[in-house]
Each structure stands twice: as structure tokens, then as C-alpha cells.
Amino acid sequence: MTGTLSPAVAASIAARVYDIKYADNFKLPLHSGFIKNFKLTHSQIKGISGGLINQLLNRSTGFALTAKGYSPQFQDHHVIAIRGTEFTSASDWLTNFHIGITNGPKNVGVHAGFQKTFRSMRPAFDRYVTEHRPKCIHCVGHSLGGALAQLTAIWASERSIPAKLYTFGAPRVVLSHFSPKAALNVEHHRMVHGADPVPYVPTWPFAHTAGEYQLAMSDSARLNASAHLMENDAPGYINTAGEHQDFNSMAGTFQIMNDESVVLHYENRHQASFSQRWQRRITNALITLLKVTGQYTAILGQASLSVGLTFYDVLARCLNGIAQASIQVGEQLKGILGHILVFVGKAEQKVEALTIKFIRWVLELMINTLYKTAKNAIDKVF
């Protein structure tokens, strides 16, 4: 692909950007493919992460490195690579239900925690592009840095600057009712490991805006923290991406986003496992139920108005109401809840009365389990 970073080069940048947290003058060991095409500009971008103490003290640290292309292939192209951050300093980003929604670049509904940190870097980004006038910006990031890289790419698109996006194990950023074209008009290479839990939070109604290259581990593998690491003996994103010189060679691993119609039957609930495959099937089954009962659009509308616990209170009441109105829908909901209980490791718990309280409790179990696993994964990065 002309003018596109290779997976190996993108992975190298995503790994090395962590080294700039406190370094004002940095010399990084980078991939030879990067060195042949780019030079670091040493325009270190600082930002303020989501933690309350950091916000109150205006405590900024190095968040992004920048580079300018000089080879014929990348002449006047620029790289903006953004690091992830510790979970403790991002407590208002991914802590269970404490999720706000705000307008991001292009007025897209996005996760408020990610947008807060992006906003702290945006003036530096504005100055950078005014000075350098890039022909194209390559936005790179791993983990929470991938979320910030996505907002950077949307911002570049908003400024009519062509952007290409490369993310590794990045969480969801955008509300699901914003279409990919509305959210991003960029070439997005989203890379994941099948067992990495971070790409599956925040949970629905947040969604990814592009399909994914699944570099290692099947989607049936149990979600685990080690699968999230950038540099690790196995699998390690720098290893799995480093096996490929271009994205054409990764075509066989690409999975298109597919909101397929799914109905889950209660008697088959023990087939579920704590895996990407079943997280996706459970979400699709819930969306299917809301669509067939005509509630999907109304619930998505609530996502922009209510956040965190409030949204799931609304969802639980909605599910209770439609289950009371139809025996068939009640059985369909029972199947979803039964699969969730097995998914979170509570196979012995039976689904009986479909009360608002019980529905709400089961949904909270699923979300808490996913967030706890994602927290462990992010903690391992530091």
C-alpha cells in the first residue's frame, strides 16, 4: 500500500512511544523501516490524563511523539504516535459505569474521558499542523493510546488533512449510532489479539468504527490480560504485527464488523465461554431483541442522554417491559441472560423471574467482569 506504514513499523512506534513519558529529549530504538522514511521532530506533545489529581494540578506528561517523512514515499507525511496511560490515572475513562458522553471532533458522540485528555493535547496538535502543513498524518497508538489516536485521526479529518490510523488493542471510542463514515473518513488498520479484553470495552452502546485484523489467538480463546501487552514473549503485538511487511499479507486475518441477527436459547447457555466470540454473540442477541421489538432506536437515543448506571437502568426497564408483553420475547430474553451468567462464570445461577432488578444485576455482572479484566490488562502495561 503506497504511503502506508507497515504493520511492523506501526508496532515499533506504538511500543516506543511509552518511553517518552518523562523524557524531554529522547532517542528511541526504532524499526529500520521507520528510520529509512522518517525523522523524529522532537516536538514532544504533552497531555493531562484523566485522573482527578492530574486535572486539579494541571499535571502534564509526555503523551505523543511526532516525526516527519523525508523519503519519496512519505515526503511531507507526519507521524503522531500516542502512548497509553495507567489505569489508575484513567479512572474516569473505564471505571465500570462512570462513563460520560460528549461531542468529540466532527461533533461525533464519544467517550468523555478520552475526549478530555485529547482536548488537553489539541492546542499542541493545532500548532504542529500549522507549522508543518502535513500532506498526511499517520496516527498510531496501543491500548488507551489507540483511543486517543482515533480522536486525533477524526480531528485531522475535521481539518481536511488526510489521515491513516493504526491501533493495537484499542478500546471503543464512538457511540454505535454514528456510522463509520460519519466518525472517520480515514484508512483505519485496527489490530487485535483474539483474547485481548480491552477492545471490548466500553461495552455497547459504544462500538468500533472499523473491522479488525486478528493477529493471534482465535476469537474463542478465553479473554486474558497478557494478550493485551505490546511487548511480551507471547503473543505481544510487536511480535505478531512484526511478522508482516504489509497489510495485504494480513488480509486473511481481517474480520468485517458484522451485526448479525442472533437468538440465544436458554437450554444452550452452557455453550458460552468468557471469550470474544461470546461477548459479540451476546451483544448481537441483545441488539436483535431490541430491533425485533422496535425498541432499538429509542434505546440508542437514551445513550446520548443518560450515561453509566442510568443507561443500564433504562435498558433493564425496557427489557422488562417487552418481556412482560410477550411470552416469546420473554424466552428470548431469558436465553440472553442465561448465556451472560455462564459467560461471567455463574453457570449455577438460574434465570427465573425477569424483574427489572434481576435484569439489571445480570447486565452489571457482565460489564463488571469485562471491566475488571480490561483493568488487569492495562495495569500489566506499566
pLDDT digits (tens, 9 = 90+) for 204-224: 888 898 899 999 888 899 999
Give the helix, strand, coil percentages of the chain, each rounded to 5: 50, 15, 35
Q: Residues 52, 278: contact at Cβ < 8 Å? A: no
Q: Tell me, yes or no, if the pTM score tops 0.85.
A: yes
Q: pLDDT (tens digit, 9 = 90+) per residue, 40-84?
A: 886 667 666 544 334 433 445 568 889 999 999 999 999 999 988
378 pLDDT higher than 70: yes
Supply the pLDDT for residue 23. 60
Q: pLDDT (tens digit, 9 = 90+) per residue, 283-331?
A: 999 999 999 999 998 888 887 666 555 788 889 999 999 999 999 999 9
Q: pLDDT (tens digit, 9 = 90+) per residue, 241-299?
A: 998 989 999 988 898 887 799 999 999 999 999 999 999 999 999 999 999 999 998 88
Supply the pLDDT for residue 233. 80
In three-state secondary structure terms, 193 is: strand
Supply the pLDDT for residue 152. 95
The length of the chain, given as a count of residues: 382
* Domains in the chain with CATH codes: 7-257 (3.40.50.1820), 266-373 (no CATH)
Q: Residues 100, 112: contact at Cβ < 8 Å? A: yes
Supply the pLDDT for residue 99. 64
* The three grid cell numbers given for residue 162, joined into one nine-digit string: 488526510
Give 11's pLDDT tier (boundaries 50, 70, 90): very high
Burial of 89 (0-12, 13-18, 19+ CB in 10 A): buried
* The three grid cell numbers given for residue 30, joined into one nine-digit string: 526504532
Supply the pLDDT for residue 43. 62
Q: pLDDT (tens digit, 9 = 90+) per residue, 76-108?
A: 999 999 988 654 444 445 543 446 788 888 888
Cα separation, 311 vs 99, in Å, equals 10
Q: Which of 240, 208, 187, 190 is nearest to 77 (CA)?
A: 187
For the ranges 80-84, 97-101, 185-189, 375-379, the lowest mean pLDDT is seen at 97-101
Cα separation, 205 vs 215, in Å, equals 25
Gyration radius of the chain's alpha carbons: 21
Cα separation, 132 vs 121, in Å, equals 17
Supply the pLDDT for residue 25. 53
Q: pLDDT (tens digit, 9 = 90+) per residue, 110-168?
A: 888 888 888 988 998 999 999 999 999 999 999 999 999 999 999 999 999 999 999 99
Supply the pLDDT for residue 52. 37
Supply the pLDDT for residue 56. 35
Alpha helix positions (H), the chain: 7-16, 32-35, 52-56, 91-94, 112-132, 144-158, 180-183, 237-242, 276-292, 296-305, 309-325, 327-343, 356-381
